[in-house]
Amino acid sequence: MQEATFLILTALAAQPRHGYGIIQSVEALSEGEVKLRPGTLYGALDRLASQGLIAVEREEIIDGRLRRYYQLSHSGLDALAEQAQRLRKRGAAAEAQLRRRPQLSGGAA
C-alpha cells in the first residue's frame, strides 16, 4: 500500500471527512511531509471507492458547492489494520537490525 493511500485511510479511521478535511488530516498525520493536491486526492478517492475501501457517507451543499464526506468501509478498516500491523513488524525488524549494528568510532556512519 502506498503511503498516501495509507494516510488517506488513516485520516478516515476516526470519522468521515470531506476532501479538504482529508488533505489537512494527511498533512497533520505525516507531520507536514505529505501534502496532497486536490487532483491527486480525488483520483485516489475514486480508486479507493471503486476498490470498496471507502464510501460516500453523505453529501451537502455549502455556498453552492457540493461537499462529499467519505468514510471507511469494513474492507477499508480491515485493510488499514492489516497495513498498520505490517508496518509495525517492518519497523520492529529495522530496529532489531539497527541494534545489531556495531558502534563505529569517530562519529562516522
pLDDT in tens for each of the 109 residues of the chain? 899 999 999 999 999 999 999 999 999 999 999 999 999 999 999 999 999 999 999 999 989 998 999 999 999 999 999 999 999 999 999 999 998 888 766 655 5
Length of the chain, in residues: 109
Secondary-structure class of domain 3-94 per CATH:
mainly alpha
SS3 content of the chain, % helix, strand, coil (to 5): 60, 15, 25
Strands (E), the chain: 17-18, 54-62, 65-72
For the chain, what are the domain ranges? Answer: 3-94
Q: Are 22 and 6 in contact (CB under 8 A)?
A: no
